[in-house]
Amino acid sequence: MSLRIIPRIDIKGPNVVKGINLEGLRVLGKPSDFAKYYYENGADELLYMDVVASLYERNSLQNIIEETASDVFIPITVGGGIRNLNDINTVLRSGADKVLINTAAIKNPEFIREAANNFGSSTIVISIEVIKQQNNNYLCFTDNGREFTGINAIDWVQKIQDLGAGEIVLTSVDREGTGNGFDDELIKSICAKLSIPLIIHGGAGSSEHVLNTAKEFPQIDGFGIASMFHYHFLKEYDIINKNFDEGNIDFIKKGLHPKGISPTHINSLKSYLYNNKIDVRLF
């Protein structure tokens, strides 16, 4: 199977946002603009995340999903506020292909089995948000890295698989948005327990980071990437952004991007990986 390159689009209200360690969110633009651009430029899938859904106990992306699905013809995974079977049904009927679940699975692990039995394992993706502790244990968090659970991430991976989940999205909250590279120690621990597809998210700052981790862990099925792609897109999106005045956008109007991030085009990353003998789907 080819390695999947998956832009992650975090959404708050009507806007794409991006932060560091899942905090300090900056408004970047409209989700449908980002999604269409990524689809037209070689993304294998898209990951939409409602980053405030858990606070309000609902997913509010239905209209955004419908708008995206009319223009984008690659798989779309949607997460945030997925609490029950009705929520899953609503998101799928809006045009999503898969759902990403974290809080509801932590609170009631049997929900994973119930969801997989009703919608199929391949539809049910479990998000694991991990923060490394001072004793070097990796523990799971919920609500965009805000809520402590005390659950060991390595043990949780085994349970997720036993309950019938079809895929895992693993986020290192410590690395997310920093551009410092992936937490290879965490990935190694997870891969040792793994029997279902794994998507890695959190830490990509350069094409080299993706290549090195892909080479070290061929078990990885894909990378969820935000900052590297978003800040490249914003340069091409400049004319539109000058007319986009919602929220604090001085940062993007000045063409800035966080330290440690080397913005790149999806196809540039894919070509780089391909030339270094990583199997990817070229556009």
End-to-end CA gap in the chain: 16
**CA 189 to centroid of chain Cα atoms:** 20
Q: Which ranges of the chain does DSSP label H, i.e. alpha helix?
A: 31-40, 53-56, 62-69, 85-94, 103-107, 110-119, 153-162, 184-191, 207-216, 227-236, 238-241, 250-253, 266-275
Whether 250 is catalytic = no
Whether 162 is catalytic = no
Which residue type does 251 have?
F
Separation of alpha carbons 231 and 255, rounded Å: 8
Separation of alpha carbons 77 and 46, rounded Å: 6
- Of 10, 50, 87, 143, which one is the catalytic site residue? 10
Q: Write the DSSP assignment of 25-50 as a string of letters.
A: EEEEE-HHHHHHHHHHTT-S-EEEEE
Q: Which two tokens stand for residue 143?
A: 């609500």
68 neighbors 32 (Cβ within 8 angstroms):
yes
Separation of alpha carbons 117 and 12, rounded Å: 31
- Of 45, 67, 87, 129, which one is the catalytic site residue? 129
87 neighbors 101 (Cβ within 8 angstroms):
no
| Residues with active-site annotation | 10, 129
